[in-house]
């Protein structure tokens, strides 16, 4: 398993582009992206669990009900959610895109992200699609990644290469996500492409299984958005034997997918709105997987702990507090907690009680950009990891005037 360059263009037969079409007032920011496979592909997706769903998700669900797609179009700056004509606009987006590409509208995944509740004008998109198609390139993943960003401060893309039956396969992805991020699938926009030959049914099984331990374990602010989804296209151009069952090839593919999704999870958490630190809570010693996940998510979602991490304050009591209200079945008197970063590791709690430690050393550890919160429940063999970020003054600044 090797990391390679290229993002969503790393796999054979995928082109991408990103432009500014005029949805956003800032002309320096791209606001329309396109990803296209040279051939029809297997397709699957998972969607936000928010009862309020953006119109693009409803249209996309219809389009990929047959397990096939060939293109993804996404705009930023406007979520096309809670609009009376939202469905019509989403369908028109896919129709305009399909016409320009010479494919069926039902083979287009459509997505939007941005402000909720404001009408989306189709004209900038209609006028921009010809240029968007002209700019399609086998090395423009970065442009597509920029076109889907909202409050993100960095583009997020990754790709890996692996082998199946002697055939070289690649899988890559781009993502956006900075605010309205919470572990309740999905919590961001993620587009993944692969040249692996895999059936639609197995692709859906792989993604649905993977998100339980990746995207469902990310939290920035506790808000689950209305437009979020993770989509995968697999065009089979690597020419491996098609994966149609849970065999060894499927396991290798799952590992490759997980490598990509974990990397994107870390990028999203580390780029949380106003964040200065990536937090990674690793829970071990749980009696079962669900207990480990409950604890990890509760800790990473704690606003008080997130604020303490911003201040580099080793307030480990907030970790136990979060575990205590997680509703996980644990023995509080057996819990060990420590903090870890590139500056070292320090134990702060043993058997549910505080231990003597150097506040100076703890602060040195917690001043780093990436912090691990290590929790050992000492009650079994199961483990889990969740990702988040610190809570800063800038989070309020960003969201205080997000719409205006």
Q: What percent of the chain has pLDDT over 70?
A: 96
DSSP string across 241-252: PPB-SSSHHHHH
User: Would you say residue 47 has pLDDT above 60?
Assistant: yes
CATH topology of domain 278-400: Ubiquitin-like (UB roll) (3.10.20)
The stretch 221-250 carries a mean pLDDT of 89
* Residue of 60, 81, 187, 259 marked catalytic: 187
Q: Provide the pLDDT for residue 292.
A: 97
- What DSSP state is assigned to residue 241? P
Whether residue 187 lies in the annotated active site:
yes
Q: Provide the pLDDT for residue 182.
A: 63
* Architecture category of domain 2-270 in CATH: 4-Layer Sandwich (3.60)
Residue with tokens 């051939």: 39
Q: Provide the pLDDT for residue 203.
A: 97
Q: Provide the pLDDT for residue 293.
A: 95
Tell me the three state secondary structure of residue 196. coil
User: In this predicted model, what pLDDT tens digit does every residue of 261-317 receive, in sequence order?
Assistant: 999 999 988 887 778 999 999 999 999 999 999 999 999 999 999 999 999 999 999
Q: Provide the pLDDT for residue 53.
A: 83
Residue with tokens 């998100």: 211
Residue with tokens 């991020």: 181
Domain boundaries, the chain: 2-270, 278-400
User: In this predicted model, what pLDDT tens digit does every residue of 97-134 receive, in sequence order?
Assistant: 999 999 999 999 999 998 888 999 999 999 999 999 99
Q: Provide the pLDDT for residue 399.
A: 75
Bridge partners for 111 per DSSP: 74
Residue with tokens 């930023």: 76
User: In this predicted model, what pLDDT tens digit does every residue of 170-184 receive, in sequence order?
Assistant: 999 999 986 655 656
DSSP string across 278-323: EEEEEEEEESSHHHHHHHHHHHHH-HHHHHHHHTT---THHHHHHH
Bridge partners for 16 per DSSP: 35, 137
Task: Cite the beta strand spans of 12-67 per DSSP E.
Answer: 14-19, 32-47
- Provide the mean pLDDT of the chain: 93
Q: Provide the pLDDT for residue 393.
A: 86
Q: Provide the pLDDT for residue 104.
A: 97
Q: Provide the pLDDT for residue 228.
A: 83
- pTM tops 0.75, yes or no: yes
Q: Give the side-chain half-sphere CA count within 13 A for 173.
A: 24
User: In this predicted model, what pLDDT tens digit does every residue of 7-31 receive, in sequence order?
Assistant: 999 999 999 999 999 999 888 999 9
Q: Provide the pLDDT for residue 13.
A: 98
């Amino acid at each position: 398993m090797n990391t390679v360059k290229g993002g969503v263009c790393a796999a054979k037969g995928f082109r991408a582009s990103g432009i500014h079409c005029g949805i956003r007032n800032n002309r320096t920011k791209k606001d329309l992206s396109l990803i296209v496979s040279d051939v029809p592909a297997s397709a699957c997706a998972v969607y936000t669990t928010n009862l309020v769903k953006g119109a693009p998700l409803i249209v996309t669900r219809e389009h990929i009900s047959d397990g096939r797609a060939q293109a993804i179009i996404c705009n930023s700056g406007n979520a096309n959610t809670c609009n009376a004509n939202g469905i019509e606009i989403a369908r028109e987006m896919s129709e305009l895109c399909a016409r320009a590409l010479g494919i069926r509208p039902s083979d287009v995944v459509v997505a939007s992200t941005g402000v909720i509740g404001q009408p989306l004008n189709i004209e900038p998109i209609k006028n921009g699609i010809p240029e968007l198609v002209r700019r399609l390139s086998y090395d423009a993943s970065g442009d597509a990644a920029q076109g889907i960003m909202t409050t993100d401060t960095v583009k997020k893309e990754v790709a890996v290469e692996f082998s199946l039956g002697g055939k070289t396969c690649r899988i890559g992805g781009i993502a956006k996500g900075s605010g309205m991020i919470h572990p309740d699938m999905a919590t961001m926009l993620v587009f993944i492409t692969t040249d692996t030959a895999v059936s639609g049914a197995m692709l859906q099984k792989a993604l649905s299984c993977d998100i339980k331990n990746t995207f469902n374990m990310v939290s920035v602010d506790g808000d689950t958005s209305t437009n979020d989804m993770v989509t995968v296209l697999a065009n089979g151009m690597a020419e491996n034997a098609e994966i149609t069952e849970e065999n060894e090839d499927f396991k290798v593919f799952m590992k490759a997918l997980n490598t990509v999704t974990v990397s994107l999870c870390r990028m999203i958490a580390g780029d949380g709105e106003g964040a200065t630190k990536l937090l990674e809570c690793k829970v071990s010693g749980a009696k079962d997987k669900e207990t480990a996940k409950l604890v990890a998510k509760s800790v990473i979602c704690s606003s008080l702990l997130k604020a303490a991490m911003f201040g580099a304050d080793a307030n480990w009591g907030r970790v136990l507090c979060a575990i205590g209200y997680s509703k996980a079945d644990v023995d509080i008197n057996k819990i060990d907690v420590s903090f870890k970063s590139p500056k070292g590791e320090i134990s702060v709690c043993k058997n549910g009680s505080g231990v003597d430690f150097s506040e100076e050393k703890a602060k040195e550890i917690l001043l780093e950009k990436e912090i691990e919160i290590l929790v050992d429940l000492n009650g079994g063999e199961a483990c889990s990891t969740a990702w988040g970020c610190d809570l800063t003054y800038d989070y309020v600044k960003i969201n205080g005037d997000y719409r205006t």
